[in-house]
Amino acid sequence: MNRTAFLFAGQGAQYMGMGRDLSEAFPDEFARIRPAIDGLGIGLTEVCFDGPQERLTNTEYAQPGIYWVSWLARMALKKRLPELVPAATAGLSLGEFTALAVAGAYSFEDGLHIVHQRGKAMQKACESTSGGMAAIIGLERDTLGPICAEHDVTMANLNCPGQIVVSGATEAIQQVCVRATEAGARRAMPLDVAGAYHSPLMSPAAETLESVLEGMEIIPPAIPVISNVSARPHESAEDIRQALVDQVCSSVQWEDSIRFLIQSGITAFVELGPGKALSGFMKRIDKSVTVVNIEDAESLEKAVEILGNLS
């Protein structure tokens, strides 16, 4: 079977109803993780299934919600295709925490606790600062970088060629959008987000996460997990702790991470969890690789058919 990597989505992939279909199709797998989900005490399953959308969008709910749905998608794939063992994992921002859990760096339960605390801390940081993000389409990093530096704005997500998300103070983001358009960007769109993720404005959340991680048992993962910060595999447990803290305020090197995996011999990618954003990025990074997504029972069966035919 082709060398396969598992990918996990970040915040923004959430939608009302996510996880319902998989939980009904794989009740035993869902039953194994539901006690931990209910143990958060925030009615997370109900919010994921029925909303309201405003609550689901809140990072306190969105982050652990995406995490458990992504984990369940992995469990469902394992039941349907038990012989498929990933050669590596990676995740976009929040998804990196899922990738580490799947690779055995910590338990599902510990990961759920970590992302819940991370989500709460990031929501608090958003509410205490005036920040935002914007998607810049059609401008490469060499051109956009100096514009961002001039306005103290971070290139927060380097997703794929021609798509970069910037993050920083609200007024500075507006200025960067104007300058990017003048420099030739096809579109420069402020995003409907709560704050300036992956920028220095999130430093209070990074400090909180550092405290949370200090009390968690972390071990080196059983397979390579790509760090958002370095676009290279994590090494020691201490490296994982530091990278996850740094990630809160640092750029997500997603395009470079995927290129590293392809250069390492990965020929097929499975996006696990809500949405298809990562599959969309992949089409702009390298169209030659196989990409499937799994977010419900229907997409699972399509993915199993494709993956089962790989040799």
d(CA 39, CA 189): 38
Residue 223 carries which DSSP code? S
CATH code for the part of the protein at 4-127+200-308:
3.40.366.10
Domain range summary for the chain, segments of one domain joined by +: 4-127+200-308, 135-190
pLDDT value at residue 215: 84
pLDDT value at residue 260: 98
Residue 277: other Cβ atoms inside 10 A: 18
pLDDT value at residue 2: 61
pLDDT value at residue 135: 95
Which amino acids are annotated catalytic? 93, 198
Residue 56: other Cβ atoms inside 10 A: 21
pLDDT along the chain (311 residues), means of 10: 87 94 97 98 97 93 97 98 96 97 97 97 92 95 96 96 95 96 95 91 96 94 97 95 97 97 97 96 95 97 93 57
Q: Cα dihedral sign for 70, 72, 73, 75?
A: positive
pLDDT value at residue 309: 86
Residue for token pair 């338990």: 107
The tokens describing 155, both together, are 């290139």
pLDDT value at residue 194: 84
4-127+200-308 against 135-190: fold identical? no
CA angle 174, 177, 179 (to 5 degrees): 110
Amino acid (1-letter code) at residue 198: H
d(CA 288, CA 281): 13
3-state SS, residue 45: helix
Residue 52: other Cβ atoms inside 10 A: 9
d(CA 191, CA 132): 7
pLDDT value at residue 32: 97
Q: Which CATH architecture has domain 135-190?
A: 2-Layer Sandwich (3.30)
Residue 299: other Cβ atoms inside 10 A: 17
pLDDT value at residue 1: 46
> Taking each helix axis from N to C terminus, what angle separates 94-102 and 59-80, rounded to the nearest 10 degrees?
30
pLDDT value at residue 290: 96
The tokens describing 270, both together, are 């499975």
